[in-house]
Structures are given as structure tokens and as C-alpha cells.
Amino acid sequence: MPGRVDVETLKRMVSDGDIDTIIAAFPDMYGRLVGKRFTAQYFVEDVIENGMHACDYLLACDMEMDPVPGYAFTSWAKGYGDFRPLPDFETMRVASWHEKTALVLCDIFYDGRDELVPFAPRSILRRQVDRAASQGYKAFGASELELYVFKDSFEAVAEKRFVNLEPIGKIIEDYHILQSSKEEFLIGTIRSHLERSGIPVESSKGEWGPGQQEIGLRYAELVEMADRHTIYKHAAKEIAWATGNAITFMAKWDERYAGSSCHIHMSLSNASSGHPLFAGKETLGPAKCSETFRWFLGGWMAHIRESFAFYAPYPASYKRYVPGSFAPTGIAWSFDNRTAGFRIVGHGPSLRIECRAAGADANPYLAFALALAAGLDGIANRIEPPPAFEGDVYQARDLPQVPHSLNEAIDALDKSKWARDVLGEDVVGHYLHFFKTEQKKFDSVVTDYERRRYFEQA
């Protein structure tokens, strides 16, 4: 694949002077890439064999990188020691948007132990992928990731204190070629660099907001897909910064405009033969499917509420779930119906489930892991989905609803025996603390809205 390099090719490129910097990084709890830049020669001579070290507070801090008290994993009392990120050389690629730079993602191990740190997002997804493999399944997926583009730079946005921002477009540009052409200087550059960096792209299109775009990546095995998703977000921000533009993957950056989603497509194949397992002769509503498909859908739907914090991790994420917004409010499934949270698309070998719950702010490793775990539980326990829904889900009054707030999602996760069984008590406790910290920080701040509404009139 163009842009992907193996270790021997990397060594040759370093020797020839084509690569002088290597970024070794891993996703943190927010889904951001953190790590180190190495001189290429040192990476080849040392890091390839020995890995690197990083402070374990990176899985116990907030978005501002402040250590957060209350995590059992690490703390001031434990000294915030090191863990050991080891490069996964299957992820090695040229980072074409940087000069003479390669990028490799790492798995995080305990220092001195051949054991993955279980709280690391990549570890959590690997565990569920391994569970699927032990049952004879290989999971594939894709994430439709949306973003907004602004005329302002990131620096100008900060100087404006994140208000009165101007999207690059003035109209709803869903499938709009003329308006998307005006944004091609950035979106086209992102597409090109992703392709040249070993991340195959299907397409891009204008979305349902002014300045809103979607770049679709090709379907892949789940860990590979989460890696592609994460590198896409990271590269897009750096490329936008270089052009003097800001972008955001907030699920809802402004109440007036459409939210940005991360629709998750998922299917299973036989781990040995590669044969797709969702297609079949059974009739389920309008779909022709297999029992495996039916039960996977049933499990995913049954566990969606207790998984929801992993799809919508911030208080602001929940502003996206409003009627008439193309984001789900009721928990239902339907064939090719964009008002349903679970939309069934494709036919035969391409049959798959599209879950429209996750926002663009979700950590893909965590969202994919919970989706796969729920589907596997459906297969194991033969969980039946409800009948297919027909019509406008937004108008339905008798459907179970998605959580309306992060607090509601936290409560559902906290009460979930299933989540503790599949993720582990320690992992669930770790992420409950993470989500509660986000909510607590939000609750302690007086917002611009509150000042505008109450400053004079209260």
C-alpha cells in the first residue's frame, strides 16, 4: 500500500536521507495522539528493539494535561512512573504532510512486564478483537467522520474566545459540488496526504452544515480502521493549521447547525476463510440476512444505552441528539432509514449495520470496542432485535431513547453488569472516573450562554 513501509524499508530510507524524523505515538483516552519525535538514526539504532518510555499520567490526565486525582491506575502517591509504548510496525507509514517524517503507532505495556496496560484505548479494542477471533470471527468496520472548516485560524479562534466564528461556507452544502470546490484547497489536500500516507480514502462530500465536510475512509479490519480514523483526525488538524484554517470535530459546535457524526459501519467475516457472515437467506424485515447478523444487531441495540458514554464522551456531545437533525433520538433499526439509530445498508456480502449514535468527538478505539463487544454478546446469547421500524423515528413516542446527557450515560454505564463483564471492573471504573471528571469540570464553569441570559435580567 502506498505510504506504508516495513522496518527494512524504513532503515533504507533513513540511510538514504529520505526520513530524518520518526513520530512514535499512541492514542490517549481522548483519542489524541501523544508520544515523541525521534531522530531517525536513534530510532533505528535503539527504539526499534527497545521501544520507549512515557509517563503513565498520560492515561490519567485531563484535556489540559493536568494530572487528575482519583484514578486507581496511577497517582501522585504512586509517583506517576513510566509505562513502555512499543511500536506496532504494522502501522509504520510515511507522514507525507510533514517533511522527511514517518509515523508509527504504539501499544502500551507495563514497564518490565510483557503485559498490555488494560486502560489504553488500543488495548481495549485489541481485547475485543481477540475475543472475536477466539470465536472464529474477524470484525471489519468504517467510520464516517465529519468536520467543520472555518475561515479563521486556530490562533484567531482562540483570540476570539471561540465565539463569533465564521465557517468557510455560507449555505448547507450537502452533496454540493460548487461549495465543496471552494473548500477543496484544504479537503483535497487532506485526502491526498491520507492516500500518500497509507490511509485509503473513498471520497469526500459537503455535509448538512455550512463549512461541514465528510471524508470517508475505506472499510478495514477494526484495529486498522481505528488507527486510520485517529491519524486522519490528527493529520487534518495539522494540515488545516498549515493553511491558516481551523477545523473542529466537536459533535455540536453551534446549536444553530448540524452536528458532526461518526457513523460506525460494522460486519463480521469468518476468521479462517474470510467469508462474510452477515449475508443469508433469512428474512428480517426488509433485509436478507443470517442469524449471526440478527443476533449481532440485537446485542448492539440491547447494550447501546450502557455503552453510550463511549459514543458521546463530553457534556456538549449530547446537544447533537435532537429531532430532525439526522442524529438518532429513538433506539430503533430500519433498512436505509436515516431517522433510525441503526440503519441497515448493503446487500449480500456488503450487508452491514450502520450505527448513527457516535459523534465525531468519540474515541474510535473505545466506540469500536463497545460496539463489537455488544454484538458478540448478542450472538452468544441469541439476543433478538425488536421489529424493524418504518416511518419517522423522530415522531415515534413509544421507543426507548438515547441518553439525554452525559450524566444519564454515566449512570447507565455505572449500573451495567455486562460492561464490567466484558471490559473488566478496573477498566469500567477507570473510564467512569474519566467521564465524571469531564462532567464535573463542565458543571463548575459559568458559560457564555449563562452570562448572556442572566447577567442583567436575573
Position 2 scores a pLDDT of 73
Position 232 scores a pLDDT of 97
Rg (CA), the chain: 22
d(CA 387, CA 242): 50
Query: Mind listing the domains of the chain with CATH numbers?
Result: 7-117 (3.10.20.70), 129-453 (3.30.590.10)
Output the nine-digit C-alpha cell for 364.
Answer: 474510535
d(CA 186, CA 181): 10
Count of CA atoms in the C-beta half-sphere (13 A) of 109? 14
d(CA 333, CA 301): 8
Position 236 scores a pLDDT of 97
d(CA 227, CA 91): 8
pLDDT tens figures, 193-220: 999 999 999 999 999 999 999 999 999 9
pLDDT tens figures, 327-375: 999 999 999 889 999 999 988 888 999 999 999 999 999 999 999 999 9
Q: What band does 434 get if pLDDT is binned at 50, 70 and 90?
A: very high
Position 1 scores a pLDDT of 59
Which of 264, 260, 146 lies closest to 204 in space, CA to CA?
A: 146
Q: Is 261 helix (H, G, I), strand (E, B) or coil?
A: strand
What are the CA-CA distances from residue 431 to residues 109, 311, 362 (Å)? 19, 13, 13
pLDDT tens figures, 237-247: 999 999 999 99
Q: Is 279 helix (H, G, I), strand (E, B) or coil?
A: strand
Task: Bin 211: left if φ > 0, else alpha if -120 < ψ < 50, else beta.
Answer: left
d(CA 348, CA 77): 56
Pairing of strands 342-345, 333-335: parallel
pTM to 2 decimals?
Answer: 0.96
pLDDT tens figures, 248-307: 999 999 999 999 999 999 999 999 999 999 999 888 877 789 999 999 999 999 999 999
d(CA 245, CA 313): 26
What are the CA-CA distances from residue 20 to residues 40, 100, 195 (Å)? 5, 6, 21
Task: Bin 312: left if φ > 0, else alpha if -120 < ψ < 50, else beta.
Answer: beta
- Are 284 and 375 contacting, i.e. CB atoms less than 8 angstroms apart? no
| Mean pLDDT for all residues in the chain | 95
d(CA 285, CA 448): 47
Q: Which residues contact 169 (CB under 8 A, 6 or more apart)?
A: 149, 179, 182, 183, 206, 210, 211, 212
pLDDT tens figures, 379-419: 999 999 999 999 999 999 899 999 999 999 999 999 999 99
How far separated are the first and last CA of the chain, in Å rounded? 61
What are the CA-CA distances from residue 287 to residues 140, 274, 412 (Å)? 20, 22, 31
- Are 418 and 300 contacting, i.e. CB atoms less than 8 angstroms apart? no
Stretch (H or E) spanning 381:
helix 364-381
Output the nine-digit C-alpha cell for 51.
Answer: 521501544
User: What share of the chain has pLDDT > 90, as a percent?
Assistant: 89
